[in-house]
Amino acid sequence: MCRFRKIWVCSLLALLLALLLPAGTGAMAAEPANDAEPANAATAAATPGAAAAYVMELHSGETIFSQNGEQMLPPASTGKIVTALLTLDMAEDLDERTTISAQAAAVPEMSIDLCAGETLTLADLLTGALVHSGNDACFALAEAVAGSEPLFVHWLNLKAAVLGAYATQLYNPHGLPEEGHAMSAADLAHLAAYAMQHPFFAETVASKQAVFGEGESRRSYTNTNKLLWQDAHIIGIKTGTTDDAGNCLVAAYADQAAVYLSVVFHSPDRYGESLALLRQAAAEHLLLFPVKAGQALAYWPDGAGGGERLYAAEDVYILTERAAAEGIRVRWELPRRLVFLDAAGAEIASTALVKKPAGIS
């Protein structure tokens, strides 16, 4: 039995080492840039001119770059990401229809031209908020989800705090200037990473065009995020612009197994700086996904002629610099853990080993 265990573990070691290769992606076709603002990808990514800049990897949650990443600044319409994630978490049915109030229809600045009395679905309003940055759509969502804008805003701040964005202070659901309405680039990046795990959100922010509504309420818009036309790896996320906040952008870049997220606040070139930061992150890093939760990894004998299989308790993602990827190795601490080490022998990731995880019969 011990010999069987050793063979099993060694075979799994070979499998794990094979899995320490990044997953590939399908070919992506670029589209014409249309009227997109020119992105200066040659911008020095290490010294962006933005008031704050932050880059992370979505799956691992690892920070890659931070320049004033914890500084509290007005997010403009990029804060609509929080409105969307709260709505998606609380709404039972995105096809539920809601009647637009006069107050929602009167919200100024960027809008999807809502009319008091018309009805749209929550999905319609989310699309209008994320693709065309409709302030009125955000107010309508607040009323539909919480019954009033003030209560919805209270829930926004609670949700942000629950997700770790403790310093975030939002005073409205749309991002129009208001004293004290602020969050950090780091907090917004992590909230965006959470939102991107929702299929509706991810699909919507990656859309270059959106058509929604029925009959007289049918609308068609082009995404305000011009970065979508500038690189086929870009899959979102949200622009924001006010005099106070300047030009802001939250962007996502899919590269093999990784998704890199960037946030820039008050940037002199939000598209160029974001693209330079994201390309640099992708050029210098790899995301490894060697273990999936529930995967059988080893067999542990009970000393009486029997034994049990051991399973990974959680997914393991490892973000590493490309040059360091070949130095990663594994250490078995049976029957408790599987540990991943860097070339210097320092622990960089691990998973507990369990006898029967949820979903395994």
Residue from 270, 87, 262 nearest 188 by CA = 262
Return the amino acid letter for 224.
T
To the nearest 10 degrees (0 to 180), the angle between helices 80-90 and 122-131 is: 160
Looking at residue 47, its pLDDT comes to: 84
| Partner residues linked to 212 by β-bridges | 219
DSSP string over 67-103: ESTT--B--GGGGHHHHHHHHHHH-S-TT-EEEPPHH
User: Quick check: helix, strand or coil at residue 9?
Assistant: helix
Q: What DSSP character marks residue 74?
A: -
Q: Which two tokens stand for residue 210?
A: 């959106």
CA atoms within 13 A on the CB side of 178: 14
DSSP, collapsed to helix, strand or coil, labels residue 33 as coil
Confidence (pLDDT) at 327: 95
Task: Identify the pLDDT of residue 46.
Answer: 63
Contact 55, 262 (CB under 8 A): yes
Residue 312 CA to residue 61 CA, distance in Å, equals 20
Q: What is the pLDDT along the chain (361 residues), one digit of tens a residue?
A: 333 333 244 344 444 444 444 443 333 323 333 334 544 443 345 689 999 999 999 999 999 999 999 999 999 999 999 999 999 999 999 999 999 999 999 999 999 999 999 999 999 999 999 999 999 999 999 999 999 999 999 999 999 999 999 999 999 999 999 999 999 999 999 999 999 999 999 999 999 999 999 999 999 999 999 999 999 999 999 999 999 999 999 999 999 999 999 999 999 999 999 999 999 999 999 999 999 999 999 999 988 888 899 999 999 999 999 999 999 999 999 999 999 999 999 999 999 999 876 665 5
Q: Which domains does the chain have, with CATH numbers?
A: 2-22+287-354 (2.60.410), 52-267 (3.40.710.10)
Dist CA 250 CA 322 (whole Å): 25
Question: Tokens for 58?
Answer: 């979505």
Spatial separation of the C-alpha atoms in residues 291 and 246, rounded to whole Å = 42
Instruction: Specify the residue for token string 């990894």.
Output: 297
316-321 and 285-291 beta bridge pairing: antiparallel
- Map residue 308 onto helix, strand or coil: strand
Number of neighbours of residue 278 by Cβ within 10 angstroms: 27
Using only the alpha carbons of the chain, give its radius of gyration: 23
pLDDT at 240: 98
The single-letter code of the amino acid at 150 is: P
* Secondary structure (3-state) at 47: coil
